[in-house]
Amino acid sequence: MPRHYAIVPAAGSGSRFGAEMPKQYLPLAGRPLIYHTLAALCRCPRIDRVWVVLSPDDGWWGDYDWRELGAKLETVFCGGATRAQSVANGLNAAQTAAADDDWMLVHDAARPCISQAMLAALCDELADDPVGGLLAVPVADTLKRADGEQRVAATEARDGLWQAQTPQMFRYGVLRRALAGQAGVTDEAGAIEALGLKPKLVRGDASNLKVTYPADLRLAELILQGKTEGESE
């Protein structure tokens, strides 16, 4: 049986957020944001090990105590210049444990609200899939293309469009091959698509938001609070 592993690229500077520290360390519900992300992955019974990929210059990780996350967590300081390079370097670090057929779940550090139900749905739906796939949500809003003056140049058809989320789950061997020489892709599915393969879209939901701007942090806090109160995951 193939095993499941996770890689969390966390070597970004979070420049769009505009804070002094990288956004993965911003306080969220009493912990650094990334703590919640890692806790969800480490708590998932199907995932055997979690590699967190930090920047070689990371100056924050050592300020916190991560022991509560348990023995599944592996920390590597091999982040690259792009997200894809950080993931590729993380996959390289995982080679002592992972076999080509094992599943790798790549999950953004900045998505702390991932639920156990969504992780299970992803693993279940892709268990026998020849390619792998990703959590995603059909686009609900009308899409506008802007011109240079921030005025509407066109209304775009949204039929068949989905917003890609993470985790994105692919076989270790294929993913390594796909990412080699694909430093510019913004997600793993993009690299897999470049091989001519078609990743499966597994329906997620909007609660798995990516913290990108300050308002997202408050929203993430409310979602996490709701989870602890209702424990509906």
The residue ranges that bind ligand C5P (CB under 6 A) are 9-12, 24, 53, 79-83, 86, 108-110, 210, 212
Task: Look at residue 80 and give its three-state secondary structure.
Answer: coil
Write down the least CB distance from residue 214 to ligand C5P, Å: 14
CB of 10 to ligand C5P, least distance (A): 5
Q: Please state, in angstroms and rounded to a whole number, the distance separating the CA atoms of residues 167 and 224.
A: 18
Query: How do 31-32 and 27-28 pair as beta strands?
Result: antiparallel
Strands of the 103-106 sheet, one edge to the other: 73-76, 47-54, 4-10, 103-106, 162-171, 132-138, 200-203
Q: How many Cβ atoms sit within 10 Å of the Cβ of residue 45? A: 9
Nearer Cβ to ligand C5P (78/129): 78
Instruction: Select 11 or 76, whichever has its Cβ closest to ligand C5P.
Output: 11
Residue 224 main-chain phi, psi, to 5 deg: -65, -40
| Least distance in angstroms from the C-beta of 81 to ligand C5P | 6
In the complex, which residue's CB is closest to ligand C5P?
12
Please identify, using beta-carbon distances, which residue of 125 and 219 lies nearer to ligand C5P: 219
Q: Specify the residue, 17 or 103, whose C-beta has the smaller distance to ligand C5P.
A: 17
